[in-house]
Amino acid sequence: MPAQQTRTTTAPPLRAHPPRVSAERARRFGSWYYAEHALKVMNGYRWTLIAYSVGNPVMYLFAMGVGLATLVDRNSPDAFGGVSYLAFIAPALLSSATIMTAATEFTFPVMDGFKWRRVYYGPHASPLAVHQIVNGYIIAITLRLLLMTAIYFGIVAAFGASPSPWGWVAVPVAVLCGLSFGLPLMAYAASIKEEKGQFALVMRFVVTPLFLFSGTFFPLDTLPIGLQWIGWISPLWHGTELGRLLTYGYQEPVWLVVIHVVYLIVLAILGWRMARKIYEKRLGA
Amino acid sequence: MSGPLTIEDYQVEVQDRPFSALYARNARAVISRGLMATKSSNWMVMVSGFFEPVLYLISMGVGLGALVGNVFGPNGQEISYAAYIAPALLAVSAMNGAVYDSTWNVFFKMNFAKLYQGMLYTSLGPLDVAIGEIFLALLRGAMYATGFTAVMGMMGLITTPWALLMIPASVLIAFGFASFGMGITSFMKTFQQMDWINFVMLPMFLFSATFYPLSVYPEPIQWFIQALPLWHGVELLRQISIGVFTAATAIHIVYYLVMILVGMVLTTTRLRKLFLK
Amino acid sequence: MPNQTNDNYVISAHNLTKKYGDFTAVNDISFDVPAGESFGLLGPNGAGKSTTMKMIGGVSQRTSGDLTIMGLDPEEHGPEVRAHLGVVPQQDNLDEELKVRDNLLVYGRYFGLPMSYLKPKADELLEFAQLTDKAKSKVDSLSGGMKRRLTIARSLINEPKILLLDEPTTGLDPQARHILWDRLFRLKESGVTLILTTHYMDEAEQLCDRLVVVDKGQIMAEGSPSTLIREHSTREVLELRFGSERNTTVAADLQGIGERLEPLPDRVLIYTHDGEAALEQVTARGLHPITSLVRRSSLEDVFLRLTGRSLID
């Protein structure tokens, strides 16, 4: 038999604040409440995240920036405008990491929210509005990307691969790069009714080609012209070019720099608006 | 059913052969289930697995190859960078496929789809399930290897008929990883633990002389890499790809034979832990 | 060679124990089941019923004790023992990647059965489970009740002599439950031994010839449903509700009415041979419950009596 609930007489009775206050607060801080929820979930596997955030850059920088560099620097010492191969690929690896992370965080968890464990439906029944769920999740992932990229940049700097004093600006740029790819993907993921391997296809036919053909490991113009278009539409290429500009003063005409920035921002905003629309339609249905 | 059961119907025949508690000699039922499930699954996903190493080959071989130029092959002669990394990418693909199928796939079917739970309530034993799943993984690996070898041929990277032996050799590599992977999965309890598998795979992929020769490392690191299975796979396929066979070839093959043997012993002894709790 | 069983017991468990680390799921239980009997394990969630079922099926290793199924140890002869079993696990574990009929065919292959047998058998079982028109559907499009029926149909593909049913009707609506009970009753009539766990007393009363009441891994009582009720309860029960604050306090004023008094947080139970007479005594004492109900004793009362807790928590 359950014990009778007892409360000492000195403690004031427990009372929730009035519904009016709940509604008011939800209206003002709802996105942050949902972000808190998402971050709490992430906290459950924080050691994996930290190990990944440290291990991934160290391994890639050693393998590509040191090991592979011995072949590249010996054979083509002047291919990268006077910097080492390590300095050339470091900003590319930085942006690739945010794209890869965005590619997982904006796919499976979205399906989890709508279908598998239906995590969106709990907050949806609370005073939170649908767009706050979208915003909150984006806030949480942005923070995660920011932390990861900051660690990554620290390691890049320790390798001496970011000689410019403006190098640290590459951190927010890489995060923007991740969002410009991740938010349209979030909208797509939310539009999927049944996951039949679409995410695996996105990984293999979108993420991997972007990683390999966006001027990541070699300048884009090394590729035959028929393959260069992949770079032009790829947020990774635009993000990487900006990163190079910031970390080692890569020469780029001003108009192209503007295009890089505008392209990334436009993609992110479009994706965000579309995601909001699709979420509202799906959760409201 | 013909008439009510009598006590005679409750008599049981007992077979006394080794492993009879674990193995019902019916792995083919597991295999045919796997093939049937493949039919109804998204075949694009299946096909896409073949593209991954091909994309790497085009990007690294063509794009990066233009910067790297020629490198020294296993017998000291100069070969193109694409010809150098192609067999390595095939070995990596064999490893990735086999590890995925024997770890994540098994873990998911065990803990989430509850597929094995149903299988093991039949007259199947856990060894039937293990053999069936490994066979399916190898079948898929053989198909990918055949496709990749064909792409190498089309790119002009094959210069000897010996190169066809890369197909069975990659099945050997896959078998080594799959037999081990399943044993290791038996120790895993959560998704977080499964993530650690990737932490082992990534450095193996990056450091096993896949993209550049071992000679860039200081000697102690060279020794370490040479102890890892992927390096033997990469070197084996690299030798086969140009038809150069040395005493090292035998060492690579023996390495995998031992790995398969140890892996199967590990998996078999862990079967009860893996499937019967 | 055929294995001679000295007695007619198809399942014998003696001092069966299963521990997971420090936790003892099944604690030294013993029971025997003769051929053709319908035998139940009744108890709340976590009592150790499912663990016992898994040990019988040879998919869970016991910590100590003896267990034989048709004279064989399921751990040493897993495949042979399970060849005679049909199993309906607590949670449906259908193959979601396959269609409905293919689920039956593929499952039959696990017993090494030929397609010439399986194809007509699968159709017969789909009929039995009233799923014929769903044969080509995907499993995930089925309702909960349909999935349950398919799982039961699947368990019959090898014409098992012993059917293990773990909570067969949990989560089903009343109509679906009655259909299932009917199907199970027919199997019982054909001589199949049924072993079922349940925490529904009506299910146990409907289907079981004999049952054991289990709690915290131990057997509390054993017998047919009617014997258990006779031995551990009275013919009728009077249920009174006085409102959540008063049930326990009013119990003192009810002393002496009926044979036994059981104050619960939400109601007071009075065990008696004549419920109506007891109710008259209550009102005669000037007590006026908000609601009152006279009913026959059930296994729920037996459980409450034996463990001091109710069956469904």
Q: Would you state the pLDDT for residue C58?
A: 83
Packed helices B126-154 and B81-102: angle between N→C axes, nearest 10 degrees: 160
What does the angle CA A50 – CA A54 – CA A59 come to, to the nearest 5 degrees? 140
Based on the fold, state whether residues C183 and C241 are members of the same structural domain. Answer: no
- Look up the CATH number of the domain holding residue C47: 3.40.50.300
| Pair C254, C187 in one domain | no
Q: Taking CB atoms and an 8 Å cutoff, what residues of chain C touch B40?
A: 97-99, 138
Whether pLDDT at B3 is above 80: no
Question: Using the beta-carbon criterion (under 8 Å), do B195 and A48 form an inter-chain contact?
Answer: yes
Q: Which residues of A touch B211 (CB under 8 A)?
A: 63-64, 67-68
Listed residue (A60, A54, A97, A53) closest to A236, CA to CA: A97
A-chain residue closest to B208, CA distance: A63
pLDDT at position A257 is 95
**CA dist list (Å): B193 to A202, B183, B186, B200, B274:** 25, 14, 11, 12, 15
B273 contact C CB<8A: no
Report the C-alpha gap between C155 and C263 in whole angstroms: 43
**Would you say residue B5 lies in a domain?**
no
- Owner of token pair 């019959």: C156
Name chain C contacts of A3, Cβ cutoff 8 Å. Answer: none
Taking a C-beta distance cutoff of 8 angstroms, is the pair B125, B24 a contact? yes
pLDDT of residue B271: 78
Same domain membership, residue C13 and residue C153 = yes
User: pLDDT band for position B21 (50/70/90)?
Assistant: confident
B42, C33 in Cβ contact below 8 A? no
Select from C161, C189, C223 the last residue of a domain.
C223
User: Which pLDDT does position B40 carry in this prediction?
Assistant: 76
Which stretch of DSSP H or E encloses residue B86?
A: helix B81-102
CA distance A117 to chain C (A): 15
Q: Do C198 and C249 belong together in one domain?
A: no
Q: Please check whether residue C241 lies inside any domain of the structure.
A: yes
Q: Facing residues of C72 across strands?
A: C69
Domain count, chain C: 2
Q: Does C174 touch chain A (CB under 8 A)?
A: no
B206 and chain A: CB distance < 8 Å anywhere? yes
Q: Is B45 on the interface with A (CB under 8 A)?
A: yes
Which residues lie below 8 Å from residue C230, measured CB to CB, with a gap of 6+?
none
- What is the count of residue pairs from B and C with beta carbons less than 8 Å apart? 137
Q: What are phi and psi of A49, to 5 degrees?
A: -60, -45
CB C105 within 8 A of CB C116: no
- Tokens describing residue C23: 């936790």
Confidence (pLDDT) at B277: 63
In the predicted model, residues of chain C with pLDDT beneath 50 are: 1-6
For tokens 């009926």, the residue is C258
Residues C34 and C122 grouped into a single domain? yes
How far C165 CA sits from the closest chain A CA (Å)?
28
Question: Does one domain contain both C215 and C112?
Answer: yes
With left for phi above 0 and alpha for psi between -120 and 50, is residue B268 left, alpha or beta? alpha
Across the interface, whether the CB atoms of B56 and A67 are under 8 A apart is answered: no
**C125 and C165 in a common domain:** yes
Residue C309, in any domain of the structure: no
pLDDT of residue C311: 61
Q: How does pLDDT run across B153-209, given as a tens digit for each residue?
A: 999 999 999 999 999 999 999 999 999 999 899 888 887 788 888 888 999 999 999
Determine the residue type at B107.
F
Query: What's residue C178's pLDDT?
Result: 87
Evaluate whether residue C312 is within a structural domain: no
Does B14 sit within 8 Å of C81, measured CB to CB?
no
Instruction: State whether residue A245 is helix, strand or coil.
Output: helix
Position B12 scores a pLDDT of 74
Using the Cβ of C251 and the Cβ atoms of chain A, whether some distance falls under 8 Å is answered with: no
- Helix and strand element counts for chain A (H, E): 13, 0
For residue A51, the chain B residues in CB contact (below 8 A) are: 199
Cβ of B69 within 8 Å of Cβ of A200? The answer is no
CA distance A144 to A125: 26
Residue C228 included in any domain:
no
Residue of C nearest to B116 (CA): C93
* Chain A contact present for C264, CB below 8 A: yes
- Beta carbons of A71 and B72 less than 8 angstroms apart: no
Sign of the Cα torsion C183, C185, C190, C191 reads positive
Contacts of C264 in chain A (CB under 8 A): 1
Query: Domain containing C279 — which CATH number?
Result: 3.30.70
CB C204 within 8 A of CB C299: yes
Range of the domain at B229: 26-275
pLDDT at B260: 96
Q: Give the three-class secondary structure for C219.
A: strand
- Domain range for C291: 234-296
Establish if C270 belongs to a structural domain: yes
Could you tell me the end-to-end alpha-carbon distance of chain A, in angstroms, rounded to an integer?
43
pLDDT of residue C6: 47
pLDDT value of position A187:
97
CB of A149 closer than 8 Å to CB of A94: yes
The tokens for A68 are 């592979």
Final residue of a structural domain among C223, C246, C267: C223
Cβ A185 vs Cβ A210: under 8 Å: no
Residue C252 lies in a domain: yes
B1 within some domain: no
3-class secondary-structure state, position B158: coil
What is the rounded distance in angstroms from the CA atom of residue A158 to the CA atom of residue C191?
77
Nearest chain A residue to C266, by CA: A1
Asked whether residue C238 is assigned to any structural domain, the reply reads yes
Nearest CA in chain B to C125: B1
Question: Phi/psi class of residue C270: alpha, beta or left (left: φ > 0; alpha: ψ in -120 to 50)?
Answer: beta
- Nearest Cβ partner of A75 from B49, B69, B199? B69
User: Do B69 and A67 make contact, defined as CB atoms within 8 angstroms?
Assistant: no
**Taking a contact as any Cβ pair under 8 Å apart, which residues of chain B between 32 and 61 contact chain C?**
32-33, 36-37, 40-41
Q: Do the Cβ atoms of B192 and A70 come within 8 Å? A: no
Helix (H, G, I), strand (E, B) or coil at C277: helix
Contact B61, B48 (CB under 8 A): no
Q: In Å, how far are A284, B183, C170 from C144, measured between CA atoms?
A: 25, 35, 10
Q: How far is it, in rounded angstroms, from Cα B126 to Cα C75?
A: 12
Q: What are phi and psi of C33, to 5 degrees?
A: -125, 120
With a CB cutoff of 8 Å and minimum separation 6, the contacts of C170 are C90, C198, C199, C200
User: Within this chain, do residues C69 and C120 fall inside the same structural domain, yes or no?
Assistant: yes
DSSP A84: -
Residues A72, B64: C-beta atoms closer than 8 Å: yes
Read off φ and ψ for residue A35, nearest 5 degrees. -60, -40
pLDDT of residue B41: 76
Interface residue C114 vs chain A (CB under 8 A): no
As a whole number of angstroms, the distance between CA C241 and CA C251 comes to: 11
Angle of the A130-158 helix axis to the A170-191 helix axis, nearest 10: 140
- E strands of chain B, at which residues? 70-72, 78-80
Would B76 be classed as within a structural domain? yes
What pLDDT digit, counting tens, does each position of B68-89 carry? 999 998 888 899 999 999 999 9
**For position C245, what pLDDT does the model report?**
78
Does C313 touch chain A if contact means CB atoms closer than 8 Å?
no
Q: Is C256 on the interface with A (CB under 8 A)?
A: no
Task: List b or e across C15-43, with b for residues whose CB sees 16 or more CB atoms inside 10 angstroms.
Answer: ebbbeeeeebbbbebebebbbbbbbbbbb
Smallest CA–CA distance, residue B41 to chain A, in Å, is 8
A253 part of contact set with chain C, CB < 8 Å: no
B277 touching C (Cβ < 8 Å) = yes
Low-confidence ranges of chain A (pLDDT < 70): 1-9
The residue of chain A nearest to residue B56, with distances taken between CA atoms, is A212
In this prediction the ipTM stands at: 0.89
Residue of A nearest to C304 (CA): A1
B64: left (phi over 0), alpha (psi -120 to 50) or beta: alpha
B10–chain C Cβ distance below 8 A for any pair:
yes
Domain definitions of chain A by residue range:
28-284
Three-state secondary-structure class, residue C16: strand
pLDDT digits (tens, 9 = 90+) for B100-158: 999 988 998 888 878 888 888 888 888 899 999 999 999 999 999 999 999 999 999 99
User: In terms of domains, do C243 and C141 share one?
Assistant: no
Of A221-225, B47-51, B239-243, give the range with the top mean pLDDT: B239-243
Tell me, yes or no, whether B211 lies in a domain.
yes
Q: How many domains does chain B have?
A: 1
CB < 8 Å to C265, chain A: 1-2
Nearest residue of chain A to residue B198 (CA atoms)? A52
Q: Does B154 touch chain A (CB under 8 A)?
A: no
The reply to whether C46 falls in a domain is yes
Q: In this predicted structure, what is the pLDDT of residue A150? A: 97
User: Residues C137, C281: one domain?
Assistant: no
